[in-house]
Structure formats: structure tokens, C-alpha cells
């Protein structure tokens, strides 16, 4: 597949990941899953997952809080992973390139997203007028047009960035001093540690979560279980924990209902 074709597909993939954020919430808006699609399109799934995992940890605490619009991790991930892989560098070089590309792209598309949200306000007012007229058949096209605007706000920047960026990225990398590239490589290895530290800080605030951290450490350090096995055991324990918690909640609701019913009977007497 030509670079143009890959750039088109990566742009479409970025747009679809964006629609997932406002639609089914499957999870493709997250860097780790978004990078898998990049790996399939570019033909290097392994490097794409490594890049996605690094960016996932880097943007671990990025969330929409109130009216705040965070940097767009979708466009940053797809552009960074795509250019990093298509640059032809080795794994460490691809990760360093991805980080160098992902951050400015995510900040740029953040501004584009704010612009699109502002423009979509006119669609909202149009929908209000259509609703007042009692014609629901005109509401669906307005809804799809708004979704199309969000789709293009990711698809176009990602396509342009990858198509024009990947062609010259290797030449640019050759011009950058080796010390800078080495620094980016070291930073790419430090960032996951910072992300894990942030995650552990959140978990250590709750004693029930500390148990899982200790269990995972024992499984990996002393029982020599691989990371995948520890992750699968974590899913099992999380399911058991959730089932117990749900059962307690159900019993509390049932007891509360019985208590209310008993009170009503006493009043009837």
C-alpha cells in the first residue's frame, strides 16, 4: 500500500476513534486501542502497541473535567504512531519520534476541537427551531452533520500530518543531534514509570486496592508469572470483588425495602 493510501486509512481511523468517544464508547478513543488500528494499517502491530502503551501511560490523567477540553489524545496517538512507524526507525527511535509528534499534534487538534464545538452551536440552535416546528425528520440530518464535523476534525489533520510528515521525517531525524534523540529515547522509558506512579497513587488511597497491588507483585516477583498471566488473574479477582460488592448492595436494597414494607404495615395497624 502506498503512503497516500495508508495516510487516508489512518485519517479515517482517527475519525472513527473520535466518533467512538461520543458514541458507543468501545474504547478506541484510548491510545492503547487506537494504536492497534495504526499497527494493522501500517503492518507493524508490535511497535504500534509499544507506542500506544507508552502514550497511554503518558496521558493517563487526561480527562474532560467540567468545561475543560484536554489535548486530543486520539489524533496525537494515530499521528505519532503512524509517523513513528513509517519513519523506518527501530523500536526505540519510533517511540521517541511518536512522542515528539504526538504532543504538538494533540495540542493543535485541541484548538480545532474547540472551534468545531463552537461551530456546532449553530447546529444546536437550528435543531431547536426544527423541533419547535414539529418536524422530527429534519433532526437526524443535523445530528449526522455534527458528527461529520467531529469526524473530519480528526481525519483531515491526521491525514495531512502523516502524508506530508512521514515523507520527510527520516530526513529531519538525520538532522537532529544524536544526543537529543537519545534524550527522547530516555524520556520515552521514564514516562511509563511516571504514569504507573500516578496510577499507584490513586490505588493506594483505598486499602481494598492495595491488596491487588500486593497480590500482583507477589505473582510476578515470587511466583515468576508473566505479565499476561498477572493481568488475567487481575481480571478474575476484579470480577470476584465486583460480584461480592454487587451482592452486598443487592442485600442492602432488599433489607431496606423490607424495612419500609414493615413500617407501612405498622402504620396500617
Indicate the SS3 state at residue 64.
coil
CB neighbour list of residue 80: distance below 8 Å, 6 or more residues apart: 51, 55, 97, 98, 99, 100, 101, 102, 105
In this predicted structure, what is the pLDDT of residue 267? 47
Which bin fits 88, alpha (ψ -120 to 50), beta or left (φ > 0)? left
pTM of this structure: 0.64
Would you give per-residue pLDDT tens digits along the chain (269 residues)? 787 888 899 989 988 988 887 777 787 888 888 899 999 998 889 989 998 888 888 777 666 554 556 778 888 889 888 888 887 778 888 888 888 888 778 877 877 887 887 787 888 888 888 888 877 777 888 888 888 888 988 888 888 888 887 555 455 556 667 776 666 566 656 655 666 676 677 667 666 777 888 888 888 888 888 888 888 888 888 888 888 877 776 666 666 655 555 555 554 44
In this predicted structure, what is the pLDDT of residue 9? 92
In this predicted structure, what is the pLDDT of residue 187? 61
Inter-CA distances, 94 with 70, 80, 100, Å: 25, 9, 10
In this predicted structure, what is the pLDDT of residue 172? 54
Alpha-carbon distance 6 to 42, whole Å?
Answer: 7
Supply φ then ψ for residue 8, to 5 degrees. Answer: -60, -50
Amino acid at each position: 500500500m502506498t503512503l497516500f493510501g495508508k495516510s487516508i486509512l489512518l485519517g479515517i481511523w482517527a475519525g472513527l476513534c473520535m466518533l467512538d468517544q461520543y458514541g458507543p464508547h468501545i474504547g478506541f478513543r484510548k491510545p492503547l486501542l487506537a494504536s492497534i488500528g495504526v499497527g494493522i494499517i501500517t503492518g507493524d502491530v508490535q511497535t504500534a502497541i509499544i507506542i500506544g502503551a507508552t502514550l497511554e501511560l503518558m496521558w493517563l490523567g487526561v480527562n474532560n473535567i467540567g468545561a475543560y477540553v484536554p489535548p486530543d489524545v486520539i489524533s496525537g496517538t494515530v499521528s505519532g504512531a503512524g509517523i513513528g512507524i513509517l519513519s523506518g526507525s527501530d523500536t526505540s527511535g519510533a517511540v521517541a519520534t511518536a512522542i515528539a509528534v504526538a504532543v504538538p499534534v494533540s495540542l493543535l487538534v485541541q484548538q480545532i476541537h474547540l472551534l468545531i464545538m463552537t461551530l456546532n452551536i449553530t447546529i444546536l440552535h437550528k435543531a431547536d427551531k426544527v423541533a419547535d416546528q414539529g418536524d422530527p425528520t429534519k433532526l437526524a440530518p443535523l445530528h449526522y452533520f455534527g458528527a461529520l464535523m467531529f469526524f473530519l476534525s480528526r481525519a483531515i489533520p491526521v491525514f495531512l500530518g502523516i502524508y506530508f510528515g512521514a515523507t520527510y521525517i527520516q530526513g529531519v531525524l538525520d538532522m537532529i543531534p544524536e544526543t537529543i534523540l537519545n534524550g527522547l529515547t530516555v524520556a520515552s522509558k521514564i514516562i511509563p514509570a511516571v504514569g504507573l506512579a500516578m496510577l499507584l497513587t490513586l490505588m493506594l488511597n483505598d486499602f481494598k486496592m492495595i491488596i491487588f497491588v500486593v497480590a500482583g507483585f507477589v505473582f510476578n516477583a515470587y511466583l515468576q508469572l508473566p505479565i499476561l498471566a498477572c493481568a488475567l488473574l487481575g481480571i478474575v479477582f476484579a470480577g470476584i470483588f465486583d460480584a461480592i460488592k454487587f451482592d452486598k448492595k443487592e442485600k442492602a436494597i432488599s433489607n431496606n425495602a423490607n424495612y419500609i414494607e414493615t413500617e407501612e404495615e405498622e402504620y396500617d395497624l
